[in-house]
Each structure stands twice: as structure tokens, then as C-alpha cells.
Homo-oligomer: A and B are copies of this chain.
């Protein structure tokens, strides 16, 4: 499955609705399976540092094939991934809020959210992930 711009917009909308419900402003990015940006929205008053962080959280989730939240403790001093965030010209983000988008057990893209606490960023990203899963669960898919 290739994520179309139409799908990416729907994912952004799901994330933005969740953020509005929570009363927060987020930077939100969707990348494809190659880690390349499809769409980005900065909600009104969201942090400008979050532009880079959201895009790179999405990239990291695809490039390392994990939710970025998994890196939080792994990248601590003494953890198994300590130092990973200085590789790849600083594109690796070790803050929660980047989540791979999975279709038929394959990573087909990623979402990255930045602007609030990591817990809130994850909650906003998850709203989009749930929406993606609802879009892509088809009878054929559930048989895989």
C-alpha cells in the first residue's frame, strides 16, 4: 500500500481533532515508506522547533522500524542505544510521538507529532494510527 496525499490528509485531520479535543497545538508530519515527507501541518501557535522534530520523529519511526517512544529509555546512558541520536546527521529523534504506519505487517510510512508533552504527542499520534488501521482493515487484510 502506498499512502496517498488524500490518506495523509485524513491522518492529519484525525490527529488535529485529537489535539483540539485535548486543547493543545501540535506539529504533525506524515512520511512514506522511504521516510520522505508526504504532508506536514503546524497547528496555530504550535512550536516552530516542532517542525523539525515532527518530521524527524516520523522519519525515525520508519528508518529504525520502531515507535520513537521505544528509544526513550534505550538511548539513556548505559542503555543499548546510547548515542544513536547523534547518528544520521541528527535526524534520529529519541522522544515519543513517532509511530510507524503498518499495513499487512509491513511499514508503509510513519507519523510524527511534536509540540506538547511526549505522552500527549503519543496520544495524538495514536489517534491517527487508529484511524489508519480502521481505513486499512479489510476482509482481505484480516486474512493475512
Contact = CB atoms under 8 A, between A and B. Distances in A.
Given A53-B84, A80-B118, 9 more contacts: A4-B44, A5-B42, A9-B41, A37-B42, A39-B42, A47-B65, A75-B83, A81-B95, A83-B85
B86 A117 contact: no
A42 B58 CA distance: 15
Interface residues of A, number: 53
8 contacts: A5-B16, A38-B41, A39-B41, A49-B87, A49-B91, A53-B84, A80-B118, A83-B93
Copies in the complex: 4
A43 B40 CA distance: 12
- From A8, A81, A87, A93, residue with most partner B Cβ within 10 Å: A87
Interface string A30-61: 00111111111111100111011100100010
Contacts of A53: 84, 87-88
Nearest to A39: B41
Nearest to A73: B78
A4 B141 CA distance: 24
Given A34-B32, A41-B5, A42-B38, A90 B92 contact: no
